[in-house]
Chains A and B, each alone.
Chain A
Amino acid sequence: MEKRALFRSRWLPYALVLPQILISLVFFFWPAIQALYWSVLLQDAFAAKTQFVWFDNFTALFSDDTYFASFKVTAMFSVLVAAIGLSVSLLLAVLADRVVRGATLYKTLLIWPYAVAPAVAGILWLFLLSPAIGVGTYALRRFGVDWNYYVNADQALLLIVIAAIWKQISYNFLFFLAGLQSIPYSLVEAAAIDGAGPVRRFWTIVFPLLSPTAFFLLVVNIVYAFFDTFAIVDATTQGGPAGATQILVFKVYEDGFKALDLGGSAAQSVVLMVVVVALTVVQFRWVERKVQY
Chain B
Amino acid sequence: MRFKYLVAMLASAGLLSGNAQAQTEIQWWHSMAGKLGDKVGEIAQKFNASQSEYKVVPVFKGQYDESMTAAIAAYRSGNPPGILQVYEVGTAQMMAAKGPIKPVYQMMAEQHEKFDPKAYLSAVSGYYSDTKGNMLSMPFNSSTQVLYVNKDAFKKAGLDPSNPPKTWPDMEKAAVKLKDSGSACAYTTGWQSWVQLESFSAWHNVPFATKQNGFGGPDTRLEFNGPLQVRHIQNLGDWAKKGLFIYAGRKDEPLGKFMTGECAMITTSSGSYANIKANAKFEFGVSTLPYYPDVKGAPQNTIIGGATLWVMTQKDPKIYAGIAKFFTFLSSPAIQVDWHESTGYVPITLAAYEETKKSGFYEKNPGFDVAINELTNKVPTPNSKGLRLGNFVQIRNVIDEELEAVWGGKKSAKEALDTAVKRGNELLEKFQKANK
Contact = CB atoms under 8 A, between A and B. Distances in A.
B71 to A, nearest CB: 9
Interface in B89-139: 93, 96-100
A12 interface: no
Given A42-B433, A260-B69, A242 B97 contact: no
Interface in B244-303: 246-250, 253-257, 260, 262
Nearest to B396: A259
B400 interface: yes
Contacts of B65: 257-258
Given A44-B97, A48-B99, A151-B404, A238 B250 contact: yes
B351 interface: no
Interface in A32-69: 42-49, 51, 60, 64, 66
B173 interface: no
A130 interface: yes
Nearest to B98: A48
Nearest to A263: B434
B434 A66 contact: no
A113 interface: no
A217 B198 CA distance: 48
Interface stretch (B43-51, B160-168, B405-413): B405-413
Chain B residues touching A, majority SS: helix
B253 A130 contact: yes
A136 interface: no
A133 B262 CA distance: 10
B248 A148 contact: yes
A51 B65 CA distance: 24
A148 B408 CA distance: 11
Interface string A235-257: 00011111100100000001101
Contact of B410 (A46, A150, A242): A242
A148 B391 CA distance: 30
A44 B393 CA distance: 14
A45 B410 CA distance: 35
A261 B394 contact: yes
B394 A132 contact: no
Contacts of A258: 65, 393
Nearest to B99: A48
B402 interface: yes
Contact of B93 (A45, A131, A254): A45
A69 to B, nearest CB: 10
B248 A150 contact: yes
Interface residues of B, number: 44
A49 B257 CA distance: 45
B338 interface: no
Contacts of B436: 49, 51
B401 A259 contact: no
Contacts of B249: 131-132, 150
A153 interface: yes
Nearest to B392: A259
Interface in B59-99: 65, 68-69, 72, 75-76, 93, 96-99
Nearest to B258: A132
B386 to A, nearest CB: 20
B391 A241 contact: no
B33 to A, nearest CB: 16
A148 B188 CA distance: 13
Contacts of B410: 242
Contact of A66 (B93, B253, B423): B423
Contacts of B257: 131-132
Contacts of A239: 397, 401
B393 A259 contact: yes
B435 interface: yes
Given A44-B97, A66-B423, A150-B249, A259 B408 contact: no
Given A42-B433, A148-B246, A241-B407, A260 B93 contact: yes
Contacts of B248: 131-132, 148, 150
Given A132-B256, A258-B393, A260-B93, A60 B430 contact: yes
A152 interface: yes
B133 to A, nearest CB: 25
B253 A46 contact: no
B75 A150 contact: no
B426 interface: yes
A241 B400 CA distance: 8
A42 B97 contact: no
Contacts of B256: 130, 132-133
Contact of A242 (B93, B98, B394, B408): B408
Given A46-B72, A257-B65, A240 B435 contact: no
B404 A45 contact: no
Contact of B434 (A42, A64, A153, A246): A42
A60 B433 CA distance: 13
A43 B433 CA distance: 9
Given A48-B97, A254-B394, 18 more contacts: A43-B434, A46-B72, A46-B75, A48-B98, A60-B430, A130-B256, A131-B253, A132-B254, A133-B256, A151-B408, A240-B250, A240-B400, A257-B65, A260-B93, A261-B391, A261-B394, A261-B430, A264-B430
Interface of A: 42-49, 51, 60, 64, 66, 130-133, 148, 150-153, 238-243, 246, 254-255, 257-261, 264
Interface pairs A-B: 9 shortest CB-CB = A132-B256, A241-B404, A242-B405, A242-B404, A46-B97, A259-B393, A259-B394, A44-B434, A132-B257
11 contacts: A43-B434, A44-B93, A46-B76, A47-B72, A49-B435, A51-B436, A239-B401, A242-B402, A242-B404, A242-B410, A259-B394
